[in-house]
Amino acid sequence: MQIADQRRERVLAPAERRGHPRLDTRWWGDLVIGARHLECYVYNVSVGGAKLLVFGRVEPMRQALLFVPPFGVFRCDVRWAAYPFAGIEFAQSERRRSAGLVTHALGQIENRFAAG
C-alpha cells in the first residue's frame, strides 16, 4: 500500500495533492523566522497554507510567523522553498482564522466579477 501511495504522489500534479483549494490573492505581508523579518507577497491562500514570494532566502521545515495586515499574525511552518517562492502550512490552531483569509479572498473574487 505504501508503494502505491508513493507512486500516486509522484504522478499527481502539486495542485492535485493539496488538501485544500487555493485562491489567488494580492496581499503584502511579513514572514518572521527566528530573528529574521522578511517582506513577502501572498500569492495564494487556502485554509491549510499559502504560497509566498519572499524577499530573502528561507529554508523549509522552519517554524515561522506570517503577518498579513489587517488579518494579524498566523503561526505556520515553511513546508517548501524554491527561491524566491515558499509554501507555508498554517498551524492546526490557526485553521479557524485561516478560514477567514479564504472567506476574504472569495469576497475579493466576487467583487472583481461584479465590477467587470
Query: In the predicted model, what is the mean pLDDT of the chain?
Result: 84
Q: Per-residue pLDDT tens for 34-76?
A: 999 999 999 999 999 999 999 999 999 999 999 999 899 999 9
The answer to the question of residue 66 being in a domain is yes
What is the arithmetic mean of pLDDT over 88-96?
95
Which of 7-11, 65-69, 112-116 has the least mean pLDDT? 7-11
- When pLDDT is cut at 50, 70 and 90, the band that residue 115 belongs to is low
Residue 73 forms part of a structural domain: yes
Look at residue 91 and tell me if it is in a domain: yes
What CATH number does the domain containing 51 carry? Answer: 2.40.10.220
Based on the structure, what is the number of domains in the chain?
1
Task: Assess if residue 1 is contained within a domain.
Answer: no
For the purposes of burial, counting CB atoms within 10 Å of the CB of 6, is it exposed (0-12), middle (13-18) or buried (19 or more)?
A: exposed
Structural domain span for residue 95: 18-115
CA–CA separation, 16 and 115 (whole Å): 31
For residue 98, tell me if it sits in a domain. yes
Q: Is residue 6 part of a domain?
A: no
Whole-number pLDDT of residue 17: 54
